[in-house]
Chains A and B, each alone.
Chain A
Amino acid sequence: MSVLARSVGNAFRNKIRTAAVVAVLAVAIGLALSMLVANQAVGAKVQELNASVGTTLTVNPAGGQGFEGGGEPLTSADAATAAAVPNVTSVVGTKALRLRTETTTAGSTDPADGAAQPGPGGPGGQAASLTTSLVAAVDAGTLGTRNNAGNSGSTAARTFTLPITATGIAAEVDTAGKALEITSGTGLGDYTVAGTKALVGTTLAEKNLLKVGSTFTIADKTYTVTGVFDAGTAFGNNAVYLTLPEAQALAGTPGELSSMVVTVNSMENVDTTKTELQEALGSGKADVTQGQRNLETAVASLDSVKGISLVAFIAALATAGLIILLIMVMLVRERRREIGVLKAIGARNRTIGLQFVLEALVLVALGSVVGAAIASFASGGIASALVSSNSAAGTTGAAAQRGPAGGLPGGAFPGGGQGGPFGGASQLLTSVTANASPGVIAAGIAAVFAVAVVGALVPALLTARIRPIEVLRGE
């Protein structure tokens, strides 16, 4: 019989109490582990978000985001200037086109309804408007109807559909600079030459019964679908991508860009690069914005979840330690006389102390096994509950931020443009998957044991102060 065997035996001396203690410990440990798993998952997500989308800047023509858009359009020369700024790794120019469905405007071939729509027609009026055979996949909704009604000033009873956004891109990325997720077919190949190939969003493809190889028209020119992409949002998928030169040709403005997405080499350089880029392009000429501003809200809300889960982890850990401390103090008091017996027959203080610490660890080990089981079932739910309750606040903030943009006619652009990445962000928020990875669980259990040792050490040291004469108590 060793000290360990004796400790194990002692841990089960009162089975009902042991079960109760283990249950309480398991809840505390399970909670601690869940919080740790949530913390790790959210932390990883924040890192991923920062790494993937936190390093892009969006350049728009000065005033291009206001209602009264004006100023000069961006040009290929501006793209070259931007590319020359230190720490810039890539510059992707885009050219946006507004497409209106031919059939809905059967009678309205008048130019007022066509390309010549001023300011409200998009960001600073720079989105050229063309006819298309496509039908928008998104209902206009209240905002869309209001905007369109305001625009045309003609028959109020007319039903409107939202315009479709066609964007010329110089690389296989969306308007926010994120790589396109092509779900069927292929990309456009060379994005630097004009051509009649096009990528369509999933919902738009569904609505118009388009498949890879199908054709449609823009300004009476026929385009072939080479691929279908999924942007993750309804607005984002109500879009067409062409090559940049093709879009510029369609708009009749070769060399002009609606916006540029500038990628910076690292998170730390984003702020300085933003300033330098603004200087290089001239503040009267272009507005440089951190394209993923909305993601900052997402990251901030995730960061607060991370903070909450860390605090909860520490609190649950401390609770587990406190439970051990109190239980062991109780056991030491209860076994005063027995400790006196052990001392009377020659046990050293450290032998007795070790026996009690080991007994505590046996209880913690049992609690950890049950707690880890609880955590592996509960952590996913706990993490998403934490994230969703927190992102609710985040979404409200973002909606307010989106308000003015959404108020623009054709809320899909740039409202949709901003809504797109935000939609992506809220998706990212909810897609935080808290997998109870063995490594994290092991680290958590190590922390639990460390706390338990500290918790058990106090009562173990108390045993050293019990005098051997206690053995005669009550005789």
Chain B
Amino acid sequence: MIEVKDLVRRFKSGDRTITPVNGVSFEFGKGSLASIVGKSGSGKSTLLSLLGALDKPTSGDVVVDGVSLAGLPDGKLTEYRRRDIGFVFQQFNLIPNLSALDNVMLPMEFAGIRKAARAQRARELLEQVQLEPEKHTRRTNRLSGGEQQRVAIARALANEPKLILADEPTGNLDEQTGEHIIELLSSLSRDHNTTILVVTHDRGLAQKTDRRFRLQQGRLNEEVTAGK
């Protein structure tokens, strides 16, 4: 369902050219939890932003359910992010002055879902990520890191996306909280039949995913490890 074809992203800074993504190709089925590992600065975030249409590739293409992103105008890319993608960031990136509920409702508002329906669904999602009900209406800048990340995951799930892209979702959390988050993502990918791609440099967390990729010198290689 997601095909990545010879993706290249090149940055020019001054007279130097960096190519963190240099010919990445892979295919991805529905309902799996995959991880990408790689050293800091190896281009993991760059690759994720290309998959999520936050950025445009220098060359190559991402094809989602037969639709090529390369040919889409900005408006369609916005729609793609809204409908097909859910992002989870290392810095959570919630709107700090809005409540947890309001944050989860935002993507649904952008998708034109009626207010009552989105409030209902937002509450359900916050329950699924195990945020205590009394914290649903709390401003997100008053929540702990782990709570914020759970709200962010609920927000990513809001429009039932095909693909959730999580960029080091545990990077700002302690080990135990991080493990909880990965377990949550793992169970959600099963329950929602959603593909989740997690970028991490924590090998331990990566071990818990169905498929593991390694980004090295701009290329992505699947790690085949025996047993699981």
* Chain B associates with chain A: yes
Asked if A220 is at the interface (CB within 8 A of a chain B CB), the reply is no
CB distance from A14 to the nearest CB of B (A): 10
A-B CB contact pairs (8 Å), 18 listed: A1-B105, A6-B98, A338-B95, A343-B54, A344-B93, A345-B82, A346-B78, A346-B81, A346-B107, A347-B110, A348-B78, A349-B78, A467-B55, A468-B81, A469-B55, A471-B89, A475-B90, A475-B167
Contact A9 B98 (CB under 8 A): yes
Q: Name the B residues within 8 Å of A347 (CB-CB).
A: 78, 82, 106, 110
Residues of A within 8 A of B49 (CB): 469, 472
The distance from the CB of B120 to the nearest CB of chain A, in whole angstroms, is 14
**A residues 416-471 with Cβ under 8 Å of B?**
467-469, 471
Q: Are A471 and B93 in contact (CB under 8 A)?
A: yes
Interface residue from B87, B98, B102 paired with A345 (Cβ < 8 Å): B87
Please, which residues of chain B bring their CB within 8 A of the CB of A2? Answer: 109
Other than A344-B81, A345-B107, give 5 A-B pairs with Cβ distance below 8 A: A343-B78, A343-B81, A469-B55, A471-B89, A475-B91
**Which residues of chain B have a CB within 8 Å of any CB of chain A?**
45, 49, 52-55, 75, 78-79, 81-83, 87, 89-91, 93-95, 97-98, 102, 105-107, 109-111, 155, 159, 167-168
- CB A464 to nearest CB in B, in angstroms, measures 9
Q: Taking beta carbons and an 8 Å cutoff, which residues of A are in contact with B?
A: 1-2, 6, 9-10, 13, 337-338, 341-349, 351, 467-469, 471-472, 474-475
A344 to B54, CA, bound (A): 7
Q: How far apart sit A345 and B49, CA to CA, in the bound complex (Å)?
A: 13
**B110: which A residues are within 8 A, CB to CB?**
345-348, 351
Q: Are A346 and B83 in contact (CB under 8 A)?
A: yes
Contacts of A351 in B (CB 8 A): 110
B93 touches A341 (CB 8 A): yes
From B55, B79, B90, B105, contact of A346 by CB (8 A): B79
Given the known inter-chain contacts A338-B95, A348-B110, please indicate yes or no for A472 contacting B83, CB distance below 8 A.
no
A468 CB, nearest partner CB in chain B, Å? 4
Contact A475 B109 (CB under 8 A): no
Task: Report A97 CB to chain B, min CB distance, Å.
Answer: 84
* Residues of B with C-beta under 8 A to A468: 53-55, 81
**A-B pairs with lowest CB-CB distance, top 4:** A346-B82, A468-B54, A1-B102, A341-B93
Smallest Cβ distance from A16 to chain B, in angstroms? 15
Closest chain-A Cβ to B117's Cβ sits at a distance in Å of 14
A351 and B89 CA atoms in complex are apart in Å by 23
Docked-complex contact B97 and A344, CB < 8 angstroms = no
Cα(A469)–Cα(B54), bound, Å = 5
In the assembled complex, the Cα of A363 lies from the Cα of B90 at a distance in Å of 34
A345 and B106 CA atoms in complex are apart in Å by 8
